[in-house]
């Protein structure tokens, strides 16, 4: 019998816990798809938005004891378009049903469980909430259709890992709530709905995109509600609210009948400061927890009145403490006898305008000194403040007690006595603040303050200051301090400080005076090794005139007028004295005008004026549009050689290192173009005039444009007149990293009608020897791929005028200069050059070239070369007109002067109507010719192919019909004047060779050295007998002997 009962019990248990649930699950499984689709379809018909559920499945134990449908990946869009904004989404929504309801065919929702989701609520400026609008609330209700489906009879709601964001666009506030876990138990009984709510969440309050002190606050709620459906009243039973480590009691009621009426009370008492720390910013609260503290701390408040539809309830809060202390246990220092009381109310109009905060009878006694005062603030929209403060603080104690990073090692004393009372005006109802000035009396003293800053090697020491405020005017009487070897002294004034604090449109003037006997920037800025300057006798006076409103309410720069009333400084590395500086700058809402900026640097003066149009573009994160800077610079005298010299180094070109300019006028503009950031710039030079002193050149009619875009600099028609020279330059140069596939090619083009290089470069004379090795070496600087061209009408180079100069060249990154074309007219002839410079080794620069000349007048062709350290001119011995071709490889100095003894050339030349002047081999044979002038030997045509190599000139045999007669000459001569010549002299011209002088009975003194002899031509039809002469040695030490006829060999 007993076993039978057990079997019946087991069968019943099996039916209850296995069979019936299985049947319920099967029934629910068979209906879940249709139920879900039907419910979603009905809701979407009523919604303005669109609800989408990816899939659904049975989850029998997810919300036990209920059997649940798991709605997966729920997304609700604000409109029927599925790429519109998502209002809420969740990974899983478990909808729970009772097993018995399922068996009876009734699908009543008993529980909801939502996890891993987010809700984005937005309240627009008109007060409309996106979720309500998307759900269709507020639109005209349509007649409901009785549909068989799911009914709601909730007994529990759970939220897990759910994030809520609420943006209120009307006041630019945002609330973030991270709901870690929320459980709500719902019970229906006798027209009452009882709700027990337990929730843990983290709250952030954001104002205008910036965190407020009420951020990262941890809440825990344990609330009990009783909603009476008959009276429409919600009663909050005594409940608990945990905020951080503080616990507050809550109770009250909410009347929901017609309008929402709140009547809530809150209170909290603790024997320490955790209650107040809960309302402090996170960092401050953490700092407070470091200290052992104790005291009688209380907090109580109430919220009462209508809420919603434009109504704000009355808020009143009282707080305070007594018999409190803070102890830093690490150093055993204490702030004792701390007490205060205070309250907050939003006033009779329940608004920020009528809000008031009072902190009364604040008193604290550190180990050394005292601190007491009170604070009253009324009208939170335009605050009026009353402060009474009396403090005498030992900063060494405060630095040790608070352990503030960066204030370690602080010492000194601060005395504050403040009586700041603006409430007189507020309570009298006077609109202005003039009456408040008389009630603002304050004084501040800092005595022997010393402190150090983090990561800064020098202590700020001996800081002494005295400042006071009388009738609203703040005066810094003195502020002095020292850093390393530098000293600073400051003073200044702010008149009508209350006008600034209240953004009043009344005029306000701010002044600052500063001076220093020594400012060592290298010591003050040790992190920047490039700064190494010492400033002595520094003085400056600044002023700014504006209004209180402009000084408080501005977007980029406060509007007003800025002045530099005086400035003086002497620099050591830049050895100049700055003095008599003055400036007047008007700052507007969008434009800035430099009315005057003038001063003197030593004996150089300047006067600058200009405008900046649309300067706010400079401050915008992603600017679009244009900004413009116009400038006008005038100087009576500018010593540019001094101004561009730093630490003994003159950065001007050598020829201009002692230059000065008189009567300088410079005018132009700079346009800046933005498109989501900087895009391009255009610099326009409209005028440049002035006169150089060392180079007596006047600058005139300068102009041009410089454009920068995508790291490419373009110069267009930039130039003017300098003395008798004029030029225009066009150029393109890649400033950024070069990409051969994308970047433009660099180019330089010079155009000039007349270019006097001698005047521009201060050339003195062709006869002046120069140190070619020390000249500027262009091959030591980086080269780029660049095309170069020039068109010059006439050009003066070393007193030699070239005409119709055209050139085409190019440079390469490996320091080659290719001279593709150079053509010019010079010395009554023409010259063409093609070749290249190889400067890959800047110490050994080679010039490979082919030159073609046509009837160049050697008397007008001044070509200088260097040989064994001495400079020579190519036309010192040879005169006439030359044509021919020279193929050469010259080693040249940085100034491109050829080094002949280390060069080689092949010269196929013909000289017409020429003469040989002071030619050493002929001068050495003066005793062999009768009544002939060997200092000036004329000839009609001289043709030969000469070879120059290793400093030796090889001369093949050639016939010369000259004023000496006709002779044949061959041989070689080194450029140190060492000769080895073979000369064939007609016997008829010589009476004695090597024995005595045979000039018709005359000696060599009887021949006129200025005499020009007629040319004697060789008669090819007659047999001529020659004397063969061999000459070796130098003009000062030579040997002449009879030689064999080399032509017969």
Asked whether the CA dihedral 249, 251, 256, 258 is positive or negative, the reply is: negative
Q: d(Cα 252, Cα 741) in Å, to the nearest integer?
A: 77
Cα–Cα nearest to 823, from 797, 796, 804, 849: 804
Is 982 a domain residue? yes
- Position of tokens 């064999």? 1044
pTM, rounded to two decimals: 0.62
**Residue at 1022 is within a domain:** yes
Q: Tally the C-alpha atoms within 13 A of residue 673's C-alpha that lie toward its C-beta.
A: 9
**Number of other residues whose CB lies within 10 A of the CB of residue 378:** 20
- SS3 readout for 897-950: CEEEEEEEEEEEEEEEEEEEECCHHHHHCHHHCCCCCCCEEEEEEEEEEEEEEC
Q: pLDDT at position 550, please?
A: 92
Whole-number Å distance between alpha carbons of 101 and 110: 10
Identify any residues that bridge with 441 across adjacent strands, giving them in sequence order: 419, 470
Per the listing, tokens 């002939």 go with 932
Strand partners for 589 = none
The whole-number mean pLDDT for each consecutive block of 10 residues of the chain, a chain of 1049 residues, reads 53 45 48 57 68 69 63 81 81 70 58 83 80 65 43 70 84 83 78 83 81 78 84 86 80 83 82 65 68 79 82 86 81 82 87 84 82 84 80 79 68 84 51 45 87 86 91 90 95 89 88 96 85 92 94 90 95 89 94 94 92 89 90 91 68 71 93 90 93 84 92 92 92 78 81 88 61 74 91 85 92 94 88 93 92 84 46 62 91 82 89 79 65 74 87 85 77 81 72 41 43 47 68 79 58
pLDDT score recorded for residue 428? 44
User: Does residue 959 lie within any of the structural domains?
Assistant: yes
Assess if residue 817 is contained within a domain. no
Residue 587's contacts (CB-CB under 8 Å, 6 or more residues apart) are 557, 558, 559, 560, 561, 562
Cβ atoms of 216 and 178 closer than 8 Å: no
Query: Which of helix, strand or coil describes residue 875?
Result: coil
Pairing of strands 645-646, 649-650: antiparallel
Q: How far apart are the first and last CA of the chain?
A: 157
Asked if residue 986 belongs to a domain, the reply is yes
In a domain, 322, yes or no: no
Asked whether residue 711 is domain-assigned, the answer is no
Domain range for 1030 is 919-936+947-1049
Give the span between the Cα atoms of 52 and 74, in whole angstroms. Answer: 6
The domain total for the chain is 1
Cβ–Cβ under 8 Å, residues 963 and 938 = yes
H-state helical runs in 565-709: 640-643
> Hey, CA dihedral for 88, 92, 98, 99, is it positive or negative?
positive
SS3 619: coil
Sign of CA dihedral 1000, 1004, 1007, 1011: positive
For residues 899 and 891, the answer to whether their CB atoms sit within 8 Å is yes
Among candidate residues 91, 113, 101, 108, the one with its CA nearest the CA of residue 185: 113
**Would 647 be classed as within a structural domain?**
no
pLDDT for residue 1005:
43
């Amino acid at each position: 019998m007993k076993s039978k009962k057990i079997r019946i019990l087991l069968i019943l248990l099996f039916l209850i816990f296995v069979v019936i649930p299985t049947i319920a699950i099967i029934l629910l499984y068979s209906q879940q798809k249709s139920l879900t689709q039907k419910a979603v379809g009905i809701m979407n018909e009523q919604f303005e938005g669109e609800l989408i559920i990816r899939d659904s499945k049975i989850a029998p134990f997810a919300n036990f004891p209920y059997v649940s449908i798991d709605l997966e990946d729920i997304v609700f869009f604000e409109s029927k378009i599925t790429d519109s904004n998502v209002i809420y989404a969740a990974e899983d929504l478990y909808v729970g049903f009772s097993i018995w309801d399922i068996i009876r065919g009734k699908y009543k929702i008993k529980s909801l469980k939502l996890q891993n989701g987010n809700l984005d609520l937005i309240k627009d400026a008109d007060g409309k909430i996106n979720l309500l609008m998307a759900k269709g609330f507020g639109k005209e209700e349509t007649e409901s259709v009785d549909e068989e489906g799911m009914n709601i009879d909730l007994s529990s709601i759970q939220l897990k890992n759910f994030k809520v964001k609420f943006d209120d666009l009307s006041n630019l506030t945002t609330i973030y709530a991270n709901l870690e876990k929320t459980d709500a138990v719902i019970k229906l009984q006798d027209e009452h709905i009882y709700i027990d709510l337990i929730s843990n969440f983290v709250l952030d309050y954001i104002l205008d995109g910036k965190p407020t002190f009420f951020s990262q606050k941890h809440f825990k709620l344990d609330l009990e509600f009783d909603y009476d459906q008959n009276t429409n009243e919600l009663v909050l039973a005594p409940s608990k609210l945990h905020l951080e480590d503080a616990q507050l009691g809550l109770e009250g009621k909410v009347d929901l009948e017609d309008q929402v009426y709140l009547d809530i009370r809150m209170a909290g008492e603790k024997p320490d400061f955790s209650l107040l720390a809960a309302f402090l910013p996170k960092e401050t609260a953490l700092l407070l927890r470091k200290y052992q503290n104790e005291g009688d701390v209380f907090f109580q408040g109430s919220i009462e009145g209508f809420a919603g539809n434009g109504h704000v309830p009355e808020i009143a809060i009282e707080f305070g403490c007594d018999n409190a202390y803070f102890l830093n246990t690490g150093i055993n220092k204490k702030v004792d006898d701390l007490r205060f009381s205070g309250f907050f109310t939003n006033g009779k109009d329940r608004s920020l305008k009528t809000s008031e905060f009072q902190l009364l009878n604040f008193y604290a006694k550190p180990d050394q000194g005292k601190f007491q005062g009170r604070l009253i603030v009324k009208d939170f929209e335009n605050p009026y403040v009353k402060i009474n403060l009396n403090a005498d603080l030992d900063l060494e104690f405060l630095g040790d007690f608070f352990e503030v990073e960066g204030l370690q090692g602080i010492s000194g004393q601060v005395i504050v006595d403040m009586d700041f009372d603006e409430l007189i005006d507020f309570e009298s109802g006077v609109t202005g603040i003039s009456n408040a000035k008389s009630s603002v009396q304050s004084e501040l003293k800092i005595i022997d303050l010393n402190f150090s800053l983090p990561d800064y090697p020098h202590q700020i020491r001996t800081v002494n200051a005295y400042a006071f405020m009388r009738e609203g005017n703040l005066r810094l009487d003195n502020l002095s301090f020292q850093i390393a070897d530098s000293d600073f002294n400051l003073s200044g004034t702010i008149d009508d400080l209350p006008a600034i604090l209240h953004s009043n449109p009344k005029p306000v003037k701010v002044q600052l005076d500063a001076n220093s006997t020594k400012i060592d920037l290298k010591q003050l800025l040790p992190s920047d090794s490039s700064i190494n300057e010492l400033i002595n006798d520094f003085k400056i006076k600044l002023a700014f005139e504006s209004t209180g409103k402009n000084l408080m309410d501005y977007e980029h720069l406060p509007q007003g007028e800025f002045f530099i009333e005086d400035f003086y400084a002497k620099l050591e590395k830049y050895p100049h004295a700055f003095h008599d500086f003055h400036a007047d700058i008007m700052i507007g809402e969008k434009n800035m005008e430099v009315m005057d900026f003038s001063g003197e640097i030593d004996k150089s003066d300047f006067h600058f004026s200009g405008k900046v149009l649309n300067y706010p573009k400079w401050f915008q994160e992603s600017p679009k549009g244009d900004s413009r800077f116009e400038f006008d610079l005038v100087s009576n005298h500018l010593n540019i050689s001094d101004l561009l010299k730093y630490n003994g180094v003159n950065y001007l070109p050598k020829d201009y290192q002692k230059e000065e300019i008189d009567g300088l006028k410079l005018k132009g503009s700079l346009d800046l173009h933005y498109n989501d950031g900087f895009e391009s710039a255009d610099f326009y030079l409209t005028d440049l005039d002035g006169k150089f002193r060392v180079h007596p050149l006047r600058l005139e009619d300068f102009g041009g444009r410089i454009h920068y875009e995508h790291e490419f600099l373009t110069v267009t028609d930039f130039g003017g007149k300098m003395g008798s020279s004029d030029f225009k330059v066009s150029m393109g140069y890649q400033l950024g990293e070069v990409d051969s596939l994308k970047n433009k090619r660099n180019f330089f083009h010079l155009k000039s009608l007349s270019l006097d290089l001698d005047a521009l470069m201060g050339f003195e004379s062709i006869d002046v020897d120069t140190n070619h090795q020390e000249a500027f070496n262009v091959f030591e600087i980086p080269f780029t791929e660049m095309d170069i061209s020039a068109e010059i009408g006439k050009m003066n180079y070393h007193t030699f005028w070239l005409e119709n100069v055209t050139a085409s060249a190019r440079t390469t990154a490996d320091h080659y200069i290719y001279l593709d074309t150079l053509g010019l007219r010079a010395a009554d002839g023409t010259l063409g050059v093609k070749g290249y410079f190889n400067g890959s080794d800047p110490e050994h620069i080679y010039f490979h070239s082919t030159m073609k000349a046509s009837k160049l007048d050697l008397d007008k062709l001044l070509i200088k070369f260097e040989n064994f350290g001495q400079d020579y001119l190519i036309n010192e011995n040879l005169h006439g007109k030359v044509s021919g071709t020279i193929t050469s490889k010259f080693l040249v100095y940085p100034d491109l002067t050829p080094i002949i003894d280390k060069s080689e050339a092949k010269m196929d030349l013909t000289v017409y109507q020429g003469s040989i002047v002071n030619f050493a081999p002929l001068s050495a044979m003066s005793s062999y010719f009768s009544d002939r002038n060997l200092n000036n030997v004329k000839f009609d045509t001289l043709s030969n192919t000469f070879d120059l190599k290793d400093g030796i000139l090889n001369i093949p045999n050639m016939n010369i019909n000259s004023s000496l007669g006709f002779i044949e000459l061959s041989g070689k001569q080194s450029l140190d004047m060492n000769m080895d010549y073979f000369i064939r002299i007609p016997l008829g011209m010589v009476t004695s060779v090597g024995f005595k002088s045979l000039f018709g009975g005359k000696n060599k003194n009887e021949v006129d050295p200025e005499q020009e002899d007629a040319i004697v031509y060789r008669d090819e039809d007659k047999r001529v007998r020659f004397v063969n002469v061999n000459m070796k040695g130098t003009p000062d030490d030579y040997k002449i002997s009879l030689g064999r006829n080399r032509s017969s060999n």
